[in-house]
Chain A
Amino acid sequence: MNADGPLQKITLAHGSGGKAMDDLIRDVFIRAFGPHSAALHTTGLNSITLEDQARLDLAALQQQGNRLAFTTDCYVVHPLFFPGGDIGKLAVTGTVNDLAVGGAKPLYLSCGFILEEGLPIDTLKKVVCSMQQTAEAAGVSIVTGDTKVVPKGSCDKLFINTAGVGVIAAGVNISAAAAQPGDAILINGYLGDHGAAVLDARGELALHNTIESDCQPLGDLVQAMLAACPDIHCLRDVTRGGLAGVLNEFAQASDCCIEIEETRLPIRTEVRGMCEILGLDPLYLANEGKLACVAPAHAAEKLLQVMQSHPAGRHSAIIGRVKATSEVVARTVSKPRVLMTTGFGSQRMIDRLVGEPLPRIC
């Protein structure tokens, strides 16, 4: 069976290990990832031999650093395609960013697909093509993978898992527990775009706006930031749970308080408007191309300039600073917390997200 043609759909045969599966691997995956695949013996599409694993040159890795970073993540999103991205782009950037914020240079990815019987093969091709384009842009290679097909109704169209390896250069020591009183907090741009774009793309709100997901790889930005300030203390990609989640992690792991200023938070007017209508808080909306950084105060301005001159950080901002818990008014705080000075002039606590963010009734 040939996987070409607009009406072709995934069947259980594509996961059964026979000819249909070989065709699918050749026509979809090898065609996209093939030239980069370390699992290939030859690059010719008609005469390939696949091994069961990618084989990576250790010496080449060792030249780039002294530690291997290894991470994995699963991707499920509805709808599969949304303004600014799709599940494939997400599956590459998500894992690349998990590596990047540990200070690693992301190098290789694996990909695992769970496909629902009946999924149009064209849809799969679009997703895979998007993965390859994103991988190229991020400077990583997709080198190994796996596919399973499940009966219709057992999954929602398409789930992806990617795992990634990267190398951490000697001397880079980033940890959520490394924030110090006096440090500056930086982020690399507008908050909440991804969460708002996906919510809107579901079409249930009948809103008309132009919000696009911020889905983007951060590996290059992080390397530029490390070059400007090798002593970055904490770095995290801001994803589910939003900025509130990441800052709370920093505060608890580092045993200190974090104070941010609402007026310094970069939030698009459209996203703010959507949050106002639905009773949501941009601090809890998901992002897919944002990082939060804690760096020594003396390096903050220089770091900000470097970030703002990078395409992935044009709207970067210094949004607050780290304080010793004892510095914060004891009346309101008994342990490490995140506090925000509102644009209104008061201060409130920012807790982690609890449960699903549900819109309010009225």
Chain B
Amino acid sequence: MKYIDEFRDPDSARKLVKQIHHLTDRVLARRSAAGNPMPLQIMEFCGGHTHTIFRYGIEQLLPEGIELVHGPGCPVCVLPRERVDDAIALAKHPQVIFTTFGDAMRVPGSQQSLLQAKADGADIRMVYSPLDGLTLAQQNPDREVIFFALGFETTMPSTALTLLQAHKAGITNFTLFCHHVTTVPTLDLILNEPGLALDGLLAPGHVSMVIGEAPFQFVARQYHKPLVISGFEPLDILQSLTMLLLQLQAGRREVENQYQRVVQKQGNRPGQQAIATVFDCHDPHRVRIRADWAHYDAERKFSVTDAAADTALNFDKPAFNSPTDCRCEDVLKGLVRPWQCRHFGELCTPQTPLGALMVSSEGACAAYYQYSDVQALKIKQEQSFKQKPTPDVVT
């Protein structure tokens, strides 16, 4: 298939893998000589990258000296239980048709998921775009159609443009339940995490397509870490890793763009404009719909209790609170591996997820569960426990 197979070519992959092994050896030799025997820790921030890494078995091609840390950049993984509870409360209103992307349906709330609420009779419909929600609103003028707006900057422009289109068409029975999240504050939280010593980051390609390169500069300047904006095909990931290693070898700490076929330096100006018109992003931990558009804000229109406001993007408060020894927070922060959580593959599976990381195929836990042998990982876990205890459970 054109424009896809070129980026999955095994010969090119072999060359890049060889270069990665070579560079890793050199970087680690220097580190080791300086008294640091730890492997390189590289975080892929974005769930799309996590998905590619597992789907193409990239980890097994990499040298042991590179540890990939799977970051929180997956829209449903940063969806707290309380937010799902609010969504369900809205969806159960008899007047409401609640529309959502498919993979948000399985995320557990404190009592149930949207999928279970649907089985209970709530009118919840899976859509592929916010525009589908708007069309439903036009087709059902006597109902209130709510679209569950979630995701990072990748999905924010389409939400914003849909709202503007609703306004232009004078549609009054369409609102947004907004749980958008911005990348930079999330990245900032990760980089401030005391237990985490990342050597470099792969930055999300599609987010960058919207926001451009500039917002990532703080990673290089403030935190002195190299960062490469990466595409989503397996060769993109390998090339981005090579670029990171070249930076590490040369002692550079810069923002580089591997995904130049899509990401422009300045990003997508109309997309940024749409975001600025519709959303208020001043609170770094919470994206809101601007007051001018209050009548399109489901929370204002239906006065949701908003229990989740404080936990929207605060890793210190457990978003997933049952059972108490769930390690979602630590996995999300990259402090432990999914299989180091005692519930992984036991109580917590994609069929019965205890946390959002087990829901989407972009979530680290679901990816490990789907593409690895859980028993083999557990054996590995026992061995690693014998060698060194994992960090204490955060409660």
Binding site for B on A (CB under 8 A): 204-205, 269, 272-273, 276, 278-279, 330-335, 337, 342-349, 351, 354-355, 358-362
Q: Please, which residues of chain A bring their CB within 8 A of the CB of B152?
A: 362
What is the CA–CA distance of A362 and B102 in the complex, to the nearest angstrom? 11
Would you call B349 and A358 a contact (CB within 8 A)? Answer: no
Choose from B154, B350, B372 the contact partner of A354 (Cβ within 8 Å): B350
- The stretch that binds A, out of B6-14, B220-228, B252-260, B270-278, is B6-14
Known A-B contacts: A337-B373, A342-B56, A349-B372. Give 16 more (CB < 8 A). Answer: A205-B128, A276-B1, A335-B373, A343-B10, A345-B61, A346-B58, A347-B57, A349-B371, A354-B370, A360-B103, A361-B75, A361-B76, A361-B101, A361-B104, A361-B155, A362-B48
Interface size class on chain B is 35 or more
Q: Please, which residues of chain B bring their CB within 8 A of the CB of A330?
A: 376
Q: Known interface pairs A331-B376, A342-B56, A347-B57. Does A362 touch B13 (Cβ–Cβ under 8 Å)?
A: no
Q: Please, which residues of chain A bring their CB within 8 A of the CB of B128?
A: 204-205, 278, 359
Shortest distance in angstroms between B148's beta carbon and chain A's nearest beta carbon? 10
Would you call B103 and A334 a contact (CB within 8 A)? Answer: no
Q: Please, which residues of chain A bring their CB within 8 A of the CB of B54?
A: 348
B132 within 8 A of A: yes
Would you call B154 and A362 a contact (CB within 8 A)? Answer: yes
A sample of 25 cross-chain residue pairs with beta-carbon separation below 8 angstroms, ordered by A number, consists of: A276-B4, A279-B51, A330-B376, A333-B376, A334-B375, A335-B375, A342-B8, A342-B55, A346-B58, A347-B60, A348-B54, A348-B371, A349-B370, A351-B371, A354-B349, A354-B370, A355-B106, A358-B102, A358-B126, A359-B126, A360-B51, A360-B103, A361-B104, A361-B155, A362-B206
Q: Known interface pairs A273-B1, A331-B376, A354-B370. Does A362 touch B151 (Cβ–Cβ under 8 Å)?
A: yes
Shortest distance in angstroms between B227's beta carbon and chain A's nearest beta carbon? 20
Q: Known interface pairs A354-B351, A361-B103, A361-B104. Does A332 touch B56 (Cβ–Cβ under 8 Å)?
A: no
Q: Please, which residues of chain A bring their CB within 8 A of the CB of B103?
A: 358-361
What is the CA–CA distance of A344 and B375 in the complex, to the nearest angstrom? 26
Q: List which B281-302 residues lie within 8 A (CB) of chain A.
A: none
What is the CA–CA distance of A334 and B375 in the complex, to the nearest angstrom? 6
B80 within 8 A of A: no
Choose from A205, A273, A344 the contact partner of B234 (Cβ within 8 Å): A344
Nearest A residue to B104 via CB reads A361
Shortest distance in angstroms between B339's beta carbon and chain A's nearest beta carbon? 13
B379 within 8 A of A: yes
Q: Known interface pairs A205-B128, A345-B10, A345-B13. Does A362 touch B376 (Cβ–Cβ under 8 Å)?
A: no
Q: Please, which residues of chain A bring their CB within 8 A of the CB of B371?
A: 348-349, 351
- Of listed A278, A335, A351, residue having the most chain B CB within 10 A: A351
Q: Please, which residues of chain B bring their CB within 8 A of the CB of A335?
A: 373, 375
Would you call B1 and A359 a contact (CB within 8 A)? Answer: no
B105 within 8 A of A: yes
Would you call B57 and A346 a contact (CB within 8 A)? Answer: yes
Q: Please, which residues of chain A bring their CB within 8 A of the CB of B104?
A: 361
Closest 5 CB pairs of A and B: A346-B57, A358-B102, A334-B375, A345-B10, A354-B350
B362 within 8 A of A: yes
Shortest distance in angstroms between B112's beta carbon and chain A's nearest beta carbon? 15
Choose from B56, B154, B155, B379 the contact partner of A346 (Cβ within 8 Å): B56
Shortest distance in angstroms between B201's beta carbon and chain A's nearest beta carbon? 19
Q: Please, which residues of chain B bring their CB within 8 A of the CB of A347?
A: 57, 60
Would you call B351 and A355 a contact (CB within 8 A)? Answer: yes
What is the CA–CA distance of A220 and B351 in the complex, to the nearest angstrom? 38
B150 within 8 A of A: yes
Q: Known interface pairs A354-B370, A362-B48. Does A344 touch B376 (Cβ–Cβ under 8 Å)?
A: no
What is the CA–CA distance of A342 and B61 in the complex, to the nearest angstrom? 12
Q: Please, which residues of chain A bring their CB within 8 A of the CB of B4?
A: 276
B361 within 8 A of A: yes
Shortest distance in angstroms between B359's beta carbon and chain A's nearest beta carbon? 9
Shortest distance in angstroms between B101's beta carbon and chain A's nearest beta carbon? 5
Choose from B57, B102, B155 the contact partner of A359 (Cβ within 8 Å): B102
What is the CA–CA distance of A273 and B362 in the complex, to the nearest angstrom? 19
Shortest distance in angstroms between A323's beta carbon and chain B's nearest beta carbon? 15
Q: Please, which residues of chain B bring their CB within 8 A of the CB of A349?
A: 370-373
Shortest distance in angstroms between B95's beta carbon and chain A's nearest beta carbon? 20
What is the CA–CA distance of A351 and B8 in the complex, to the nearest angstrom? 22
B175 within 8 A of A: no
Nearest B residue to A343 via CB reads B8
Would you call B13 and A344 a contact (CB within 8 A)? Answer: yes
Q: Known interface pairs A349-B372, A349-B373. Does A279 touch B8 (Cβ–Cβ under 8 Å)?
A: no
What is the CA–CA distance of A88 and B182 in the complex, to the nearest angstrom? 50
Nearest A residue to B54 via CB reads A348
Would you call A344 and B373 a contact (CB within 8 A)? Answer: no
B173 within 8 A of A: no
Q: Known interface pairs A279-B361, A359-B101. Does A348 touch B1 (Cβ–Cβ under 8 Å)?
A: no
Shortest distance in angstroms between A206's beta carbon and chain B's nearest beta carbon? 8
What is the CA–CA distance of A287 and B48 in the complex, to the nearest angstrom? 27
**Proximity bits, B170-214, A CB within 8 Å = 1, else 0:** 000000000000000000000000000000000000100000000
B242 within 8 A of A: no
Shortest distance in angstroms between B262's beta carbon and chain A's nearest beta carbon? 13
Q: Please, which residues of chain A bring their CB within 8 A of the CB of B369?
A: 351
Choose from B58, B362, B376, B379 the contact partner of A360 (Cβ within 8 Å): B362
Q: Please, which residues of chain B bring their CB within 8 A of the CB of A344?
A: 8-10, 13, 56-57, 234
Shortest distance in angstroms between A349's beta carbon and chain B's nearest beta carbon? 5
Shortest distance in angstroms between A243's beta carbon and chain B's nearest beta carbon? 16
What is the CA–CA distance of A206 and B351 in the complex, to the nearest angstrom? 30
Would you call B8 and A361 a contact (CB within 8 A)? Answer: no
Would you call A332 and B372 a contact (CB within 8 A)? Answer: yes
B360 within 8 A of A: yes
Shortest distance in angstroms between A258's beta carbon and chain B's nearest beta carbon? 14
Nearest A residue to B362 via CB reads A360
